[in-house]
Structure 1
Amino acid sequence: MLINCVAYQNGIKLADIGAEQIPDYLHLPDALVWVALHDASDEEISHFGELFALHPLAVDDARNGHQRPKLEEYGDILFLVMKTLEPDKDNAIHVGEVDLFVGANFVLSIRNRTRKGFQNVRERCEREPHLLSHGSGFVLYALMDTVVDRYLAVIHQLEDELEDIEIRLFSKNSSARRNITDLYALKRKLITVSHVALPLHEATARLYGGRVPRPCHHLNEYFRDVDDHLARIMHTVESQRDMLATAIQVNLAMISLDESNISKKLAAYAALFAIPTMIAGIYGMNFTHMPELNSPLGYPLALLSMLILDILLWRRFRRSGWL
């Protein structure tokens, strides 16, 4: 579905145009045509591929979707695939895809399975015509910068989740099974972020320094800024994965500690029952010559001995923290 098709000249918006008018504006000096599609059909992608003379292999990738983040050059035209990350219900992460075709005087963006659009990016570019006058390269930067900023929002959400789980680890009413389930769910989310950000980090490094593609000339500092953000994201992901591994070990240690405490309590109660059982067992042998066997005080003395010994043991266990 066509969302926007706008023509610019020297950073100034000329008009919203139809697809059939695109060839007329492409021939204007210092012109830029910016087309945005959302969940485009194969026919739409093929149609705009013909209008902008895109490479068939890149058009096939855009039609098929589900591409790994990458940057490819077809002559003077760049084909960039980015993944979008958006918070979903139940603290899940929704993954979408943005395919960008960037030529000297056009930008074609195709969003697939994304919920939040890039209208704010277009508004930002139109508010800064002196930057938009750099052409398609600045539009590419603005779109990449917005996608990466949305990664940061997801990273902050994952940091909050990890902090909540860490607090629960030391709660007496916490469920160890729930903690370990949430920790592994968080680990899968971090892997998802890593699979999305790392390839884009590698691709962005090709857009500044050394030989850069033609649309990105004179924009080195902008793409270096995006690359710095991606490097920070990867560093944060690695740090969270280390903290996650530590949290998993702590959770297992807490489980072992709880089991040890239970074992101590069971051993203490077994010792308390062992004293009466031992005394009763001795007097249950019914030998003729046993102390107090024929005394009327024998029975109460035996019970009193059991009680006194159990009280002494109970106090000792309480002092040791077993009970």
Structure 2
Amino acid sequence: MASRLYVKGRLTAEGFGAGEAAGRLDADPDAVLWLDLDDPGPEQLRAVAGEFDLHPLAVEDATGRHERPKVDRYRHHLFLNVYAVEWGDEVRKTEISAFVTPRALITVRKSPFDLEPLLARWDADERLAAAGGVDFLVYGLLDLVVDGQHAVAVRIDEAMDRVEDRMLGEGAAPRDVRRHGFALRRALAALRRAVAPMPEVVADVARDLAGEEHLRPYYRDVEDHAHRSLELIEHARDRITELLDHDLAEQSNELNDVTRKLAAWAAIIAIPTALTGYFGQNVPYPGYERWWGFVLSSALIVVAGGSLYLYLKRRGWL
């Protein structure tokens, strides 16, 4: 658990328990609060809900997992659900639920997440923090989440450049390259589920919270980044799908080449089979039981087979 108390943009206390949060707000009418709960149990969350009059349905969503990114409006607060993402071998998502009251931001994390970048973002502009209050805290959270999503989208797009270089070479791509391409497409699908609703989520939050004129451009900037991230993901999805389709076409072309060559060799082999079968089984061939008959039949086989080979070679079948 983590906690901070701000008075007119200045950090005045941190690291206190959840039981002290409401009392500290009551003690100073200019104070705003951030309270972070790391995968809390139902009892701990119910206690906080009682202190801040949180709606039971919002509390239920905060305790559940795999909620979609959304904003729900209740009488005394907003409920916000978003996903912070990171990129390693795959997309790793941290689900973050947030209760936004007039004087408090209460976040609920459902898996480990590094809070230092968020704290650094809040501490970077004391003037804006003083003017924005809770609105500023929510802006910092959304800005961090959306920037992280955009950074992951860019890294996947860069990884796709390397896959594209290998896939567009002559012939079908090696199996490991194809597997990497499918892994990137799977990662994009996972990322899109977290990013696709974000422009609408940010716009809804801005309508409710960015009442002060000075904060509206900042929320618009976050919304613009969310749109850019989604556009990049959609472009990358189309791109990787086209690459995989191209590779599948190359595999089909190679299979056709192999099939054509096998058919050509089968035709060549059929000629001596037919000749030896004809002369050896049906009727006595010219030179039957003569030494020159063997030479003649061998010459026919070589000439007929060689002629067919040259013809197929000229057609590009071999």
Q: Give the aligned residue type for 1:278.
A: A
For residues 32 and 13 of structure 2, what CA distance do their matches in structure 1 show?
11
Residue deviations 1:244-271 (CA, integer Å, cap 9, x gap): 3323322331222122111111111112
1:174/1:247 CA distance change after superposition, 3 Å: closer
Q: CA deviation at 1:224?
A: 1.2
TM-score (norm 2): 0.87
Partner of 1:200: 198
Partner of 1:155: 153
Partner of 2:302: 307
Q: CA deviation at 1:57?
A: 2.5
What is the 5 A alignment of 1:102-117? 102-113=100-111, 115-117=112-114
Does the 8 Å contact 2:79/2:99 carry over to 1? yes
Q: CA deviation at 1:297?
A: 2.0
Question: Identical aligned pairs, as a percentage?
Answer: 28
Partner of 2:224: 228
Q: Give the aligned residue type for 1:111.
A: R
Partner of 2:128: 131
Q: CA deviation at 1:153?
A: 2.7
**Pairing partner for 1:283 from 272, 279, 282:** 279
Residue deviations 1:16-42 (CA, integer Å, cap 9, x gap): 252343234313243221112211222
> Please, which moves more after superposition, 155-164 or 71-80?
155-164
Q: Give the aligned residue type for 2:101.
A: G
Partner of 1:119: 116
TM-score (norm 1): 0.85
> Please, which moves more after superposition, 298-307 or 256-265?
298-307
For residues 255 and 173 of structure 1, what CA distance do their matches in structure 2 show?
5
Partner of 1:317: 312
1:71/1:173 CA distance change after superposition, 3 Å: closer
Partner of 2:86: 86
Q: CA deviation at 1:180?
A: 6.1
Does the 8 Å contact 1:179/1:251 carry over to 2? no
> Number of matched residues?
313
Partner of 1:141: 139
Does the 8 Å contact 1:135/1:215 carry over to 2? no
Does the 8 Å contact 2:71/2:205 carry over to 1? no
Does the 8 Å contact 1:138/1:216 carry over to 2? no
Q: CA deviation at 1:59?
A: 2.0
SS in 2 for 1:297: helix
For residues 79 and 180 of structure 1, what CA distance do their matches in structure 2 show?
41
For residues 117 and 236 of structure 2, what CA distance do their matches in structure 1 show?
30
For residues 174 and 9 of structure 1, what CA distance do their matches in structure 2 show?
60
